């Protein structure tokens, strides 16, 4: 399988777009309804930059979060995101994915969220998205393998390829203490299409983790490290700690291991272009 280019961050990039239009920073899923033009812009920019897969703006759009921060129905929020992405990508060579992240509540025994309720929350998201035929379901930025398992078990019944991506600490485990081996042993038997990591770490710290994945599984690997935390610049503007070209250079050591490659927090379409150029430079 050749290398497949993913997009970059959605949330931080949408906030940048909103700020450039003088619009306040809100949970980014609200822009699906309040400013769909912002969401269409980010989808289009990622497609133009060379991304093969572009996320709909659904990360974090789950019923508890939507009810807590708005009067919207989560099904309308998810459907709006999928519709915007599908219409923007029409006639263009890019796949559109549903993106789901972890819930704010914690599963038992760490919290009071039961597995069935957790599964039902994800099922609601999947069912709202499926009429728009997502080309894949991305389950990203999970730190609790138990919650990932619940979400993945529901996702694999929907007929779209399921990509599972955990967030790791520098010690090579998730915040909940899940190792790469734990992740592979739990998720691979479910019939998922890809496994890997995103967020939390920059490229340098993430490379050893993706290398370990390559040693533990034959599944195609998913790799979306952060471009560094945003840093303040003059005039109140923000920039990422790692620029696009430097980021692509730092990601390059993952090329032998990862099939799906993009950026997470702090990255945008310029980073996707840089990754594409670096892949070409390295002969992929």
pLDDT band at 235 (very low <50, low <70, confident <90, very high): very low
Contact 33, 76 (CB under 8 A): yes
Cβ atoms within 10 Å of 212's Cβ, excluding its own:
18
* Rounded average pLDDT over 48-58: 98
| Cβ atoms of 136 and 161 closer than 8 Å | yes
Q: Which residue has the tokens 């969401």?
A: 39
From the centroid of its chain, how far is CA 124?
A: 19
Res 228: pLDDT:
73
User: Residue 241: which pLDDT band, with cuts at 50, 70 and 90?
Assistant: confident
- Above 70 in pLDDT, residue 236? no
Exposed e or buried b for every residue in 153-190, given b needs 16+ CB within 10 A? bbbbebebbbbbbbbbeeeebbebebbbebbbebbeee
The model's pLDDT over 214-225, given as tens digits with 9 standing for 90+, comes to 999 999 999 999
> What is the value of pTM for the model shown?
0.95
Residue 234 has pLDDT above 50, yes or no: no
CATH level 2 (architecture), domain 4-281: Alpha-Beta Barrel (3.20)
Mean predicted confidence (pLDDT) in 247-274: 97
**CA pair distance 239, 228, nearest whole angstrom:** 9
Start-to-end CA span in the chain (Å): 11
């Amino acid at each position: 399988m050749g290398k497949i280019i993913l997009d970059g961050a959605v949330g931080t990039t949408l906030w940048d777009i909103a700020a450039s239009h003088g619009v306040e920073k809100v949970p980014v899923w609200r822009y699906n309804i309040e400013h769909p033009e912002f969401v269409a812009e980010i989808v289009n920019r990622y497609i133009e930059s060379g991304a093969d897969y572009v996320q709909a703006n659904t990360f974090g759009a789950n019923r508890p979060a939507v009810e807590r921060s708005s009067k919207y129905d989560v099904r309308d929020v998810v459907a709006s995101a999928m519709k915007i992405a599908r219409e923007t990508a029409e006639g263009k060579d890019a796949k559109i994915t549903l993106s789901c992240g972890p819930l704010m509540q914690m599963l038992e025994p760490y919290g009071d969220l039961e597995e069935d309720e957790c599964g039902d929350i994800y099922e609601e998201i999947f069912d709202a998205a499926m009429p728009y035929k997502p080309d894949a379901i991305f389950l990203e930025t999970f730190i609790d393998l138990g919650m990932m398992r619940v979400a993945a078990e529901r996702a694999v019944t929907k007929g779209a390829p399921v990509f599972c991506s955990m967030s790791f600490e520098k010690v090579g485990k998730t915040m909940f203490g899940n190792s790469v081996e734990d992740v592979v042993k739990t998720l691979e038997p479910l019939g998922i299409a890809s496994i890997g990591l995103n967020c939390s770490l920059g490229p340098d710290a993430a490379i050893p983790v993706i290398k370990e994945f390559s040693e533990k599984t034959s599944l195609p690997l998913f790799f979306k490290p952060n471009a560094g935390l945003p840093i303040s610049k003059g005039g109140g503007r923000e920039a990422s700690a790692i620029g696009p070209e430097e980021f692509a250079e730092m990601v390059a050591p993952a090329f032998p291991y990862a099939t799906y490659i993009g950026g997470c927090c702090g990255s945008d379409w310029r980073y996707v272009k840089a990754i594409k150029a670096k892949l070409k430079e390295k002969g992929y």
